[in-house]
Amino acid sequence: MARLLRISLVFVQAVCNHLACKPPNKTLAKQRYHTEEAYVLQIAPFIFKLHTVLLWLSAAIETVSALLYYTGASLSPALSAHLDAVTCQSSRSLLTPMFVTGVIVSALGAFIRLRCFQELGELFTFDLTIHPNHKLVTSGFYKYVRHPSYTGSLLLIMGLTFSHLTPGSWAVECSALGPVGSYLLWAAWWTWSLSVAKSRAVAEDSELRKRFGEEWDAYAARVKFWLIPGLL
C-alpha cells in the first residue's frame, strides 16, 4: 500500500510541477526587458523544463520500482537484479516525512503560481516583458506581496528538494550524487533560485515604477514585501 501511495504522490508532484512550469503565454522579443541580466540567471525557463523532465523520469522510475516489487517473482533473477540496481527499490524508504512534506510544499507552490497565472492573464510571461496594454495588478496574492509567483517558485523548488534530494530518495540512495552531492546540489539550486528571484524582483519593481509612477508608489507603500509578508 505504501508503494502505491508513494507512486501516487510522485505523480501528483510531477503534475503540479508540470503545470507550474508551463509558460501560460509566449514571450515576444520586442516586449522583453532586463536582457542584460547575467546569463546564468536568464536560464530559468530552461531549468523549469529540465526539472519537469526529471520529475517525469522520477515518476517512471517509481512505477518500474513498484512493478518490480509486485511482479519480481515472475521475472528472471538476472532481469530482476538489473531492475533493482536501477531503481534501488529494495533499499529505499517509501514514505519519509521529508518526502511527504515535499509533496505538500510543492503543491502549495504550484497552486500559488497557477493563481498568479490566472490573476495576470496575458501579462504573465516567463521572460520579463511589458505588454502594450500592461496594467498594475494588485488583486489576489498580489494584495499581500509584490512577487507571489516567485514565492510559488521557491516553494515548488523547496518541495522538490525535500522529496528528491533527501535520504530515502533515488538521488541519494541510488545515483552517483550520494548524500553529500545531493546536499550540495540542493544548496546550489536554492542559491540560484533566490538569486533569480531577487534579480527579477528588483528589475520588475524598477520597470513598473517607470511605467505607473504614483500608482506604483502607492502600491509599493501598501505592499512592502517581495515574497513573504512581514519577512522578505
Burial degree of 17 (CB within 10 A; 0-12, 13-18, 19+): buried
Is residue 227 included in any domain, yes or no?
A: no
Is residue 230 included in any domain, yes or no?
A: no
**What's the mean per-residue pLDDT of the chain?**
86
pLDDT at residue 133, as a whole number: 86
Q: Which residues contact 39 (CB under 8 A, 6 or more apart)?
A: none
Is residue 201 included in any domain, yes or no?
A: yes
Is residue 231 included in any domain, yes or no?
A: no
Reported confidence tier of residue 131, pLDDT bands at 50, 70, 90? confident
Measure the CA–CA gap between 83 and 85, rounded to whole angstroms: 5
pLDDT at residue 93, as a whole number: 64
Mean pLDDT of 172-194: 85
Mean pLDDT of 144-169: 93
Whole-model pTM above 0.85? yes
Q: Which residues pair with 129 in a beta bridge?
A: 32
The pLDDT of residue 197 is above 80: yes
Mean pLDDT of 25-45: 78
C-alpha distances in angstroms, 97 versus 94, 104, 141, 169, 202? 10, 11, 29, 12, 36
First to last CA, the chain: 41
Residue 207 belongs to domain with CATH number: 1.20.120
Measure the CA–CA gap between 216 and 223, rounded to whole angstroms: 10
Full residue range of the structural domain in which residue 13 is found: 2-23+38-222
Q: Which residues pair with 32 in a beta bridge?
A: 129
Reported confidence tier of residue 74, pLDDT bands at 50, 70, 90? low
Q: How does pLDDT run across 45-56, given as a tens digit for each residue?
A: 888 888 899 889
Is residue 129 included in any domain, yes or no?
A: yes
Is residue 123 included in any domain, yes or no?
A: yes
Is residue 31 included in any domain, yes or no?
A: no
Domain tally for the chain?
Answer: 1
